[in-house]
Amino acid sequence: MHPEISVVIPVYCEEAGIRFTLREVEKFLAVSASTWEIVVVDDGSKDNTWNEITAISQTMARLRGLRLSRNFGKEAAVSAGLEAARGKAVIIMDGDMQHPPSLLPTMIETWRTGEFDIVEAVKSSRGDESSLSAARAKLFYLILRAFSGHDLNGASDYKLLDQRVIEAYRTMKERNVFFRGMISWMGFRSTQIPFEVEPRIAGDSGWSVFGLIRLAAVAVTSFSTFPLHLITIFGVLFFAFSVMLGMHTVYMKLSGAAINGFTTVILLLLIIGSSLMIGLGIIGEYLARIYDEVKQRPRYIVSQKLPLNQPDNPASP
């Protein structure tokens, strides 16, 4: 009932390239894995991605498909795939060919040595990514490292996870999931394999600026309480500043050198007011995470499934 390797591929609006991607993944699995399955998770695509997956499943016996009822986000789609995968090791990769399938044999052989529970594919370059996108990614990892202490610069979702890691992942029931951070936090034995990001086979990235900001907020609030401590730190600093300013004001008043005017008062009101709003915003982010968790809603809802068309351990094609 358990193939050696499961490959989980979350996709969103990838109808133009999903067929080629699956054939390439199948080709490299056929020469590197004894038994295997491919689990494709359609994250509520608005195009014909699911129809393409359904058509491919007629000729690809080891393909399994999950269709989410709407777009829950990549992190939820990854969770759906990991919870459905049955392999002794599970590989997560993107469906746009930016994670090269040619790296699969190396990842599998590294895992078979038994020395590592996690084999991570790390970006040695970001390919033909625009300078703006590269700057956004750099800022994201800088903020995450500063606030959470996890250095994920160059990290990707392209990973091989041993079954022990998958079992540990399934015990974590957070609704707000940051996959890379959770894998890093667990601390299993890991090794890294560099790769160069390939051009997308078709279409454009589904990540928007708002989506990246939301992911950064989830990542920081899920793995660090430091922003909450910042409010206390700023409060102490402003208190010290107000004491010094008060002493200076009293001295100027007693010496008869006080100057009438509202510039200082207005400036102080603006600084304190903006600081209070930022502080309330930070607290609001944590309250939002707590609100999502206590509702106990599922991370995702599966609306359709494509089962395997033959037994779990068929002969390799």
Average pLDDT over residues 234-245: 75
Mean pLDDT taken over the chain: 80
| 196 and 118, same domain (yes or no) | yes
Confidence of residue 42 (pLDDT cuts 50, 70, 90): very high
Please write the tens of the pLDDT for every residue from 47-79. Answer: 899 999 999 988 888 999 999 999 888 889 999
Per-residue pLDDT at 313 exceeds 50: no
Per-residue pLDDT at 17 exceeds 70: yes
| 265 and 159, same domain (yes or no) | no
| 139 and 288, same domain (yes or no) | no
| In the chain, % of residues over pLDDT 90 | 34
Q: Is residue 313 part of a domain?
A: no
Q: Is residue 170 part of a domain?
A: yes
Write the burial class of residue 170 (CB in 10 Å: 0-12 exposed, 13-18 middle, 19+ buried). exposed
| 141 and 253, same domain (yes or no) | no
Domain membership of residue 233 as a residue range: 226-295
Overall domain count for the chain: 2
| 238 and 271, same domain (yes or no) | yes
Token readout for 62 is: 């080891």
Please write the tens of the pLDDT for every residue from 179-235. Answer: 888 888 888 999 999 888 777 776 555 555 666 667 667 777 776 777 777 777 777
| 201 and 287, same domain (yes or no) | no
Q: Which is higher by pLDDT, 285 or 268? A: 285
User: What distance in Å separates the CA atoms of residue 179 and residue 90, rounded to the nearest whole number?
Assistant: 14
How do beta strands 89-92 and 159-162 pair?
antiparallel
Confidence of residue 39 (pLDDT cuts 50, 70, 90): very high
Write the burial class of residue 296 (CB in 10 Å: 0-12 exposed, 13-18 middle, 19+ buried). exposed
Please write the tens of the pLDDT for every residue from 212-228. Answer: 667 667 777 776 777 77
What number of other Cβ atoms are within 10 A of residue 306's Cβ? 19
CB 65 within 8 A of CB 57: yes
Q: Is residue 315 part of a domain?
A: no
| 160 and 246, same domain (yes or no) | no
Report the first-to-last Cα separation within the chain, whole angstroms.
19
| 170 and 291, same domain (yes or no) | no
Q: What is the pLDDT of residue 136?
A: 67
| 212 and 187, same domain (yes or no) | yes
| 209 and 262, same domain (yes or no) | no
| 91 and 57, same domain (yes or no) | yes
Q: What is the pLDDT of residue 36?
A: 93
Highest mean pLDDT among 44-48, 226-230, 273-277: 44-48
Single pTM value for the model: 0.74
| 122 and 241, same domain (yes or no) | no
User: What distance in Å separates the CA atoms of residue 111 and residue 162, rounded to the nearest whole number?
Assistant: 8
